[in-house]
Chains A and B, each alone.
Chain A
Amino acid sequence: MASLLVNEMNYNPDIQAAVQKIESSLKHTYKLSTRTIALLLLQGDKEIHQLVQEKENSYAGIQKVIQETSVAFEQPINYVITLKRQELTNSLLADAVKEGKVTDNNRFSEILNKLTINPFTGIPILLLVLYYGLYQFVGVFGAGTLVDFLEADVFEIYINPLVNVWTARYIPWPVVQDLIANDYGIITLGIRYAIAIILPIVGTFFIAFSIIEDSGYLPRLALLVDRVFKAIGLNGRAVIPMTLGFGCDTMATMVTRTLETKRERIIATLLLALAIPCSAQLGVILALLSGKPLALAAWVSFLTLVFLFIGFLTAKLMPGDKPIFYMEVPPLRMPTIANVVSKTYTRMQWYFLEILPIFILASVLIWAGRLTGLFDLVVKALEPVMNLIGLPAEAAVAFLFGFFRRDYGAAGLYDLQQNGALSTEQLVVAAATLTLFVPCIAQFSMMLKERGLKTALAIAGFIFPFAFLAGYVLNLLLKMIGGI
């Protein structure tokens, strides 16, 4: 039976000698044993090296010992030490564990596994998941049925009129009345949008995402798209923030933390801010373009092109390490209701605590903007830009709103379309430009938190003119092919 006493673990004599030499020159007390510190130094642990460099005068001498020892081996010392430990592990297991006959897993699970990781069957499966999960559940049920019920039935019939009447009765100043009620009030607009429009859409998205996540499907998606993501400077792991972005870009920007290199984090943040519509926006735009499949196709294709093009360009221009891709692929499992509920609940809770206050702030800002006339000034300034991309001047309001809440903006376009003010081509251009347009105020504040002031401003500064440039190009393209 191999000895379990770590001190008796016999590494190569050269390494043993090095460990002893290093141990004797460590004067400080650490939380770990000096033997562990010595081994970690030999293995090249960056954090321990930094720690020892700060605390010990003998650091230079220690480095020399490491250098001399590494000459004695063909492979890195880290490798040699790890191999030795693995040998001990193997011999311990050989004595203690008996492997039974290998039984094949659930046949169905194996077949499904093979189907999801093979690109020929995997991509159709992905499209199926997107269609049922995203389009039907989030788009049609969430953005359609649920929103209609909450907005038209609950708010418009009961809550809004009640609020309007109460504020008219108890608050004498019209200015404050406008802050809370009427067209742009905190309750009648801000909270109504948060609860009646965003909540059902984001909620259904989080449910769908949690089911997919719990099944173990995401790593399979990651390994399919890794090559494509490499071309835009990311790797397969970025599939998680990117897909989350279709739910809520603000949360996705937070999740970019999990990407390993700074370069990847910046590229992902840029692409999220630019070309990934959040579920709220997606819901309204799908409603906007639902009657016209060609317009929808044009919008999707144009955005995909912009996404790939800008990703590719940024990857070429940004310096830094190229990412590598590695991921454990867990077995496919039936999602557990308890897990899905708890994941959805946590995300919804985050949404309410983080986003809702910003939403209310947005309402207040719009109110203040209208009061001071600043609002109208900005709208006037935007009008020539609207004409440039072939849109009527009225669309300017939608764009201004679009900064505060991306779906406010899309909803503004919806009103215009209902009144017949926009042709199909104009609709596509407006929808595409609005999607590319600067991130909403919540996402922007997350960008500031995650990437810092300079990077966030640089990204926003690029996106603003680029969105309109892209709108201009799209307008030209649509005119050239004779409209849709």
Chain B
Amino acid sequence: MSIGRAETISKVMSQVAVNKNSMLLLDAEVGKGGTITGIHTKDDNILKKIMAMGVLPGMPVKVIQKSPSVVFKVGNTTLAVDHNIAQCIEILA
């Protein structure tokens, strides 16, 4: 079950520049949707894992649960991650 199409990345990036309302996946509200706008981490390992899962800017995202693990839907896939990873993902509601 999909939750929307991917936006073009440049469109998303320009939206972020204009709209300062982007937040971390960790801080997003449960049940709310949005678009991924960026991945911020110094750790190469985490970066590779996040990208390999298909979590990339432009993808639609919806938060399902935040505790004990962060469960969210990206495109058609449901993923579960811990806080270390959730704090690296930036979204725009």
Contact = CB atoms under 8 A, between A and B. Distances in A.
A93 B53 contact: no
A224 interface: yes
A329 B78 contact: yes
B2 A99 contact: yes
Interface stretch (A75-83, A343-351, A419-427): A75-83
Contact of A223 (B8, B47, B80): B80
Residue in A76, A103, A104, A105 with the greatest tally of chain B CB atoms within 10 Å: A76
Contacts of A224: 68-69
A117 B80 CA distance: 10
B71 A76 contact: no
A11 interface: no
A324 B85 contact: yes
Interface string A189-227: 000000000000000000000000000000100111011
B34 interface: no
Nearest to A321: B45
B2 A102 contact: yes
B51 A117 contact: no
A235 interface: yes
Nearest to B68: A227
Interface in B53-82: 53, 56-58, 64-65, 67-69, 71, 77-82
B9 A83 contact: yes
A103 B58 CA distance: 23
Contacts of A94: 5
A329 B72 CA distance: 9
B56 A327 contact: no
Given A226-B68, A328-B79, A78 B44 contact: yes
A79 B49 CA distance: 12
B79 A90 contact: no
A44 interface: yes
Contact of B1 (A104, A118, A330): A104
A222 B80 contact: yes
A226 B65 CA distance: 14
Interface string A80-99: 00110011001101100001
B39 interface: yes
A87 B68 contact: no
A326 B81 contact: yes
A230 interface: yes
Contacts of A219: 80
A83 B6 contact: no
Interface residues of B, number: 36
A87 B10 contact: yes
B24 interface: no
A119 interface: yes
B8 A236 contact: no
A237 to B, nearest CB: 10
Interface in B25-59: 39, 44-51, 53, 56-58
Given A87-B8, A223-B69, A102 B51 contact: no
Nearest to B59: A86
A94 B6 CA distance: 9
A103 B1 CA distance: 7
A186 B57 CA distance: 64
Given A79-B51, A102-B1, A117 B65 contact: yes
Nearest to A43: B48
A342 to B, nearest CB: 26
Contacts of A227: 68-69
Given A82-B51, A90-B6, A326-B82, A236 B58 contact: no
B14 interface: no
Interface of B: 1-3, 5-10, 39, 44-51, 53, 56-58, 64-65, 67-69, 71, 77-82, 84-85
Those 8 A-B pairs whose CB atoms lie nearest each other, nearest first: A223-B80, A325-B82, A223-B69, A329-B78, A90-B6, A326-B81, A227-B68, A86-B56
Given A83-B57, A99-B2, A118-B65, 20 more contacts: A78-B44, A83-B9, A86-B56, A86-B58, A87-B10, A90-B9, A104-B1, A105-B1, A119-B68, A222-B80, A224-B69, A226-B68, A236-B82, A324-B45, A324-B82, A325-B84, A326-B85, A327-B80, A328-B53, A329-B78
Interface of A: 44, 76, 78-79, 82-83, 86-87, 90-91, 93-94, 99, 102-105, 117-119, 219, 222-224, 226-227, 230, 235-236, 324-331
11 contacts: A82-B56, A86-B58, A105-B1, A117-B64, A117-B71, A223-B71, A230-B82, A236-B80, A326-B80, A328-B78, A330-B78
